């Protein structure tokens, strides 16, 4: 949850009584995280309304820049009815309600959802002559690799992962790509956005032996997703002698569709946001600027079948999803639950998706593309 403090949140403002006159300006306040009791200075900037809507920015300026930099935008909605200010931030699961003071320069309220316990948040408008807190600038991003380069690894090491290794995944840096504790089947699924069940004809070791792979290239800059994937694909073909072809086969799949009553997710139209999917604990996910295709990719990483998008929903969305994973006991949902005071655990994934998102996941069979392995060999270590 602490990562939420280092993010910039774009706020869409709905019309309300004297909204523009009441809330335009810079608001500052201190939140105290219930997780570590650390005080976080926060800044909310609300420009004049443009017709019925305005857009503001929320900053938490005391957090270091971690995996998700502050310029990453999360849409939220803020409303004013009388003196009651309500803020909903779907991308991080936060719901806040406060009261606007008589002089309309202070908002006192509580974040009621999104933390393990209610969080008091008081904001004061910065009036003329008062010191505004400086907004940290995002770190300079790594220089990207030239788009017209088709890079290869000049040097690469392939080793079996140490027994009992826990850390796994892909790390991309300027001039280097590393994969940790992954089977060739898992890596192939990542490289081609398929479920492991869409890989057929491979020997048993392909899905059981785990490798650490590091490749370095002399091409300057940080490779794009397409570029690092291309380099790793070439490495698999060279070091594992991997060759395959594609076929359509009827497979058991899950189809994601809109439930009766309609979808319950918020569409995002911002041009400044970046896609992000964040895990806040087992079964607890935050989705920012996420397409249904991206959501299906996450789901099929959790489920035992490929997941096919049949929603018909175009564009990108902000939403949260909280469920009880099958591997966990159905007890108290713990500190990462969206509703901290809830006595009951969140539902399992299928029910949670229907209830919280208005989407259904149904088992079916559909013609689905598979990768048929023609040849593969164990790579020699080096």
* pLDDT score, position 296: 96
Q: What is the pLDDT of residues 198-210, one digit of tens each?
A: 999 999 999 999 9
For residue 114, pLDDT over 90 is answered with no
Tell the residue number behind the tokens 């040097």, with chain if given: 155
Strand duo 211-216 + 155-160: pairing = antiparallel
Considering the chain, tell me which residue range(s) the CATH 2.40.128 domain(s) occupy.
Answer: 2-125
Q: What is the dihedral of CA 62, 67, 70, 75, to 10 degrees?
A: -120
The model scores a pTM over 0.85? no
CATH architecture, domain defined by 2-125: Beta Barrel (2.40)
Q: Is 197 in a helix, a strand, or coil? A: helix
Residue closest to 59 by CA, chosen among 7, 3, 127, 126: 7
Tell the residue number behind the tokens 């502050």, with chain if given: 70
Residue closest to 315 by CA, chosen among 285, 290, 278, 286: 290
Least confident of 31-40, 92-101, 108-117, 153-162: 31-40
Q: What is the pLDDT of residues 246-282, one digit of tens each?
A: 999 999 999 999 999 999 998 886 665 667 787 766 7
């Amino acid at each position: 949850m602490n990562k939420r403090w280092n993010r910039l949140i774009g706020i869409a403002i709905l019309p309300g009584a004297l909204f523009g006159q009441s809330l335009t300006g810079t608001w500052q306040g201190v939140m105290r995280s219930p997780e570590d009791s650390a005080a976080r200075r926060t800044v909310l900037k609300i420009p004049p309304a443009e017709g019925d809507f305005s857009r503001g920015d929320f900053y938490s300026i005391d957090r270091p820049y971690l995996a998700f930099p502050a310029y990453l935008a999360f849409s939220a909605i803020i409303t004013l009815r009388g003196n009651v200010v309500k803020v909903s931030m779907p991308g991080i699961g936060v719901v806040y309600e406060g009261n606007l003071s008589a002089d309309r320069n202070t908002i006192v309220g509580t974040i009621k959802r999104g933390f393990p316990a209610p969080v008091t948040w008081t904001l004061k408008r910065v009036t003329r002559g008062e010191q505004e807190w400086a907004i940290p600038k995002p770190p300079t991003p790594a220089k990207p690799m030239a788009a017209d380069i088709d890079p290869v690894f000049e040097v690469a090491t392939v080793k079996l992962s140490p027994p009992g290794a826990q850390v796994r995944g892909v790390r991309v840096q300027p001039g280097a790509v590393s994969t940790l504790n992954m089977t060739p089947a898992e890596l192939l699924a990542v490289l081609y956005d398929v479920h492991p069940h869409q890989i057929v004809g491979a020997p048993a070791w392909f899905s059981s032996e785990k490798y650490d792979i590091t490749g370095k290239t002399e091409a300057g800059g940080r490779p794009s997703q397409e570029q690092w994937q291309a380099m790793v694909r070439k490495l698999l073909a060279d070091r594992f002698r991997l060759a395959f072809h594609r076929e359509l086969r009827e497979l058991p799949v899950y189809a994601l569709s809109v439930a009766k009553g309609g979808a319950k997710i918020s569409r995002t139209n911002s041009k400044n946001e970046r896609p992000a999917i964040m895990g806040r604990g087992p079964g607890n996910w935050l989705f920012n600027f996420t397409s249904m295709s991206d959501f299906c990719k996450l789901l099929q990483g959790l489920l035992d079948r490929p997941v096919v998008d049949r929603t018909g929903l175009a564009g990108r969305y902000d939403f949260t999803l909280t469920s009880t994973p099958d591997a966990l006991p159905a007890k108290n949902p713990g500190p990462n639950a969206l509703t901290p005071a809830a006595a009951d655990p969140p539902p399992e994934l299928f029910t949670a998706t229907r209830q919280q998102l208005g989407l259904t996941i149904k088992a079916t069979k559909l013609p689905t593309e598979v990768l048929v392995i023609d040849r593969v060999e164990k790579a020699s270590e080096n």
